[in-house]
Amino acid sequence: MNRNRKWFMSLIMLFTILVVVTGCSGTGTTTTTTPAATVTSTSTVTSGININGVGATFPAPLYTKWFDVYYKDTGIKINYQAIGSGGGINQITEGTVDFGASDGIMTETQQSKAEEANGPILHIPMTSGAVAVIYNISGISSGQLNLSGDVLADIYLKKITKWNDYRISDINPDITLPDADIAVVHRSDGSGTTYIFTNYLSKVSTDWASEVGNATSVDWPGDIGGEKNAGVAGQVQQLPNSIGYVELAYALQNNIAFANLENAAGNFITPSIESTTKAAEGITLPDDMKVMLTNSSNPEAYPIVGFTWILVYENQKDKEKGEAIVNMLWWAIHEGQQYTTALSYAPLADDAVTRAENQILSIKYQGETLLKR
């Protein structure tokens, strides 16, 4: 009897706790939104606003830093969830968040879908990043291996299968490469890094473009898939005679050997923050900034580079939020750029900043520009 009642009581208690907790969280959200609503009447004070963004994982460390600094300076809270570029595109299309973030350009169908729902969508560049080609060949340290675009493409197409293939040794006269099979490692998860990498390979190799193509995840001809940067780097570091690709920041922070790549001007370039920034200076940037920076013609540019964008609607639905977003974006492409190099991201080139400024100035609320300069 006694034990039975105890059970029953604890069940009742559990249920009550559940009701109370859910009730509390419900009231919690309402209290947080009220200040934003009251602010609308006072209009000039913007603190207390919550901006929500989701998207790419690649710029997440930088965004976290930015939004932290920005919150301390302005009191405007920006929540960023790094769920991946695809998720960022999906959620901004559905209008569930205030901005999305992506390492890839939205496809035509994605853009028209977003436009149908909420009007034209802008791609505003925030920073650029490089993809480093990493390898594990005993006796050959970082920066000693030279690769060209077509050789890299043929390695990933499994057409070049040995490290001592004459096409590799021809561009590496100073080192002796082993007579060993190349183990090719790629990202198994869909990612902006893969998008940039395959975009580059599609530009430099017609075979790659026709057989595999350019996407956040492709039908790889080659060997092993690793999960995220860490998975690819882990495989390459473990597996002798392997090759892989990761974000440059990841390779730098973890001291992984990476290769020099031949750029469009015929120079072998070591990936670095400087050679990443240069990439935007050799490419004609369109006003909408929907451009991949791969295979830049700048003689000092590293060839596998891409922008990472914040996706926002040109027509904002909420004046307060819209103002907060444009101010934050303006801050990010100016003051925010000083935080890039410390985190191994490349600051935007001047031309890119100017075009991003114009984009931010075009963001409107009911036909009226939100940011006035």
Partner 1 sequence: MKPLLSGNKKNSITRETSFKGLGNTGDRIFSNLTLLFSIIMIVLLLALIIILSIDAFPAIRKFGVSFFTSQSWNQVQESYGALPAIFGTLLSSFIGLLIAVPISIGAAIFLTELAPGWLREPIAFLTEILAAIPSVIIGLWGLFVLVPFIRSPVESWLGSNLGFLPLFQGPPFGVGFLSAGIILAIMTIPIITSLSREAIRAVPDNQREAMLSLGATRWETIRRAVLPYSRSGLVGATILGLGRALGETMAVTMVIGNSYNLTASLFSPGVTIASKIASEFNEASSELLVSSLMALALVLFIITLLVNIVARYLVRRMTATSTTKR
Residue of 316, 320, 312, 352 whose CA lies nearest to 334: 352
Interacting residue with partner 1 among 225, 281, 314, 318 (CB under 8 A): 225
Indicate the residue among 102 and 172 with the shorter CB distance to partner 1: 102
Report helix, strand or coil for 292. coil
* Interface pick for partner 1 out of 39, 60, 224, 361 (rule CB under 8 A): 224
90 binds partner 1 (CB under 8 A): yes
Q: 73, 181, 335, 351: which one contacts partner 1 (CB under 8 A)?
A: 181
Q: Which of 199, 205, 216, 359 binds partner 1 (CB under 8 A)?
A: 216
SS3 call for 233: helix
For partner 1 (CB under 8 A), the number of binding residues is 42
Q: Is 24 exposed, middle or buried (0-12, 13-18, 19+ CB in 10 A)?
A: exposed
Taking CB under 8 A as the rule, does residue 24 contact partner 1?
A: no
Among the listed residues 177, 212, 332, 352, the single contact to partner 1 using CB under 8 A: 212
With beta carbons less than 8 A apart as the criterion, state whether 295 and 200 touch: yes
The correct pick among 215, 265, 343, 353 for binding partner 1 (CB under 8 A) is 215
Asked if 219 interacts with partner 1 (CB under 8 A), we say yes
Q: Does 191 bind partner 1 (CB under 8 A)?
A: yes
Contact residues for 12 (Cβ-Cβ < 8 A; gap 6+): none
Closest approach of partner 1 to the CB of residue 213, in Å: 3
Q: Would you count residue 205 as binding partner 1 (CB under 8 A)?
A: no
β-sheet with 146-147: strand ranges across: 146-147, 260-262, 268-269
- Taking residue 80's Cβ as centre, other Cβ atoms within 10 Å add up to 22
Interaction of residue 4 with partner 1, rule CB under 8 A: yes
Is 234 a binding residue for partner 1 by CB under 8 A? The answer is yes
Binding region for partner 1 (CB under 8 A) out of 233-241, 278-286, 302-310, 311-319: 233-241
- Asked if 80 touches partner 1 (CB under 8 A), the answer is no
Q: Which single residue is written with the structure tokens 């209008």?
A: 95
User: Quick check: 362 binds partner 1 (CB under 8 A)?
Assistant: no
Alpha helices, H only, 95-191: 108-118, 149-156, 166-170
Nearest CA among 77, 76, 104 for reference residue 88: 104
List the one residue from 146, 205, 214, 263 that touches partner 1 (CB under 8 A).
214
Of 124-132, 219-227, 288-296, 356-364, which segment contacts partner 1 by CB under 8 A? Answer: 219-227
**Binding of partner 1 by 206 (CB under 8 A):** no
CA distances from 286 to 23, 127, 181 (A): 51, 16, 42
Contact 248, 345 (CB under 8 A): no
Closest separation in Å from C-beta 222 to partner 1: 8
Residue 89 within binding range of partner 1, rule CB under 8 A: yes
Q: Least Å distance between CB 219 and partner 1?
A: 4
User: What residues are paired with 269 via a beta bridge?
Assistant: 261
Q: What's the token pair of residue 4? A: 């039975």
213 interacts with partner 1 by CB under 8 A: yes
**Residue 60 binds partner 1 (CB under 8 A):** no
DSSP 257-286: -B-EEE-TTS-EE---HHHHHHHGGGS---
Q: Between residues 105 and 177, which has the closer beta carbon with respect to partner 1?
A: 105
Number of neighbouring beta carbons within 10 Å of residue 286: 9
Judged by CB under 8 A, does residue 178 bind partner 1? no
Sign of CA dihedral 259, 263, 269, 274: negative
List residues binding partner 1 (CB under 8 A): 1, 3-4, 8, 11, 15, 83-87, 89-90, 107, 109-110, 181, 183, 188-191, 212-220, 222-227, 231, 234-235, 238-239
